[in-house]
Amino acid sequence: MTDSFDTRLNDLLEEFELFDDWEERYRYIIDMGRALAPLADAEKTEATRVRGCASQVWLVMDDGPEGTLNFRGESDAHIVKGLIAILVRLLNGLPLSEIRDFSIRDTLTKLGLDEALSSQRTNGLISMVERLKASAG
C-alpha cells in the first residue's frame, strides 16, 4: 500500500525544515530533480510536452495499477526538474480521485513555495498539474 498524500507531504515538510534558508531549499529541490531517472529521447515528443511552461517540460504517463496514475517527467531547467520530482513524490501512484482533488496552490502554500517561486514557475507548475489531472480523468 502506498503512503497517503498527507503522509508524503508531511515527510517533505519535515525535510524542508532541516534547511535554514531558501537558497539551501532550492539546492535540495535541484538535487531531487537530479535524482530523477531521465526520460528517453524518444519519450520527449510534442505529445508529452507540457505547454504553459517557460522551460521545456515533458510528462510521460505509465501503466499502473487500475485506478492510479503513474508518471515520470523531465525538464531542461534544473529547478523545474526538481519541481517535477516533488510532484512525482507527492502524486505518483495515488488514486485518480486524489490526483483530481489535488490543489497545487494549497500545497505550494504549505511548502512555503508560493512566495519563493516566480509567477512564471508557478504557472508552469500549474500547467503540469493540469496535465496530470487531465490524465486522471
Per-residue model confidence as pLDDT tens for the chain (137 residues): 468 899 999 999 999 999 988 889 999 999 999 999 999 999 999 999 999 888 999 999 987 788 899 999 999 999 999 999 999 999 999 999 999 999 999 999 999 888 888 889 999 999 999 999 999 98
| CB-neighbour burial class of residue 79 (10 A; exposed 0-12, middle 13-18, buried 19+) | middle
Residue 3, Cα to own-chain centre: how many angstroms? 16
Per the structure, the count of domains in the chain is 1
For residue 27, give its domain range: 5-136
pTM: 0.94
CATH number, domain with residue 31: 3.90.1010.10
Phi, psi of 30 (to 5 degrees): -60, -40
C-alpha cell at 35: 535524482
Q: What is the pLDDT of residue 22?
A: 86
User: Does residue 53 have an active-site annotation?
Assistant: yes
Q: What is the pLDDT of residue 58?
A: 97
Catalytic residue among 9, 32, 53, 132: 53
CB 124 within 8 A of CB 80: yes
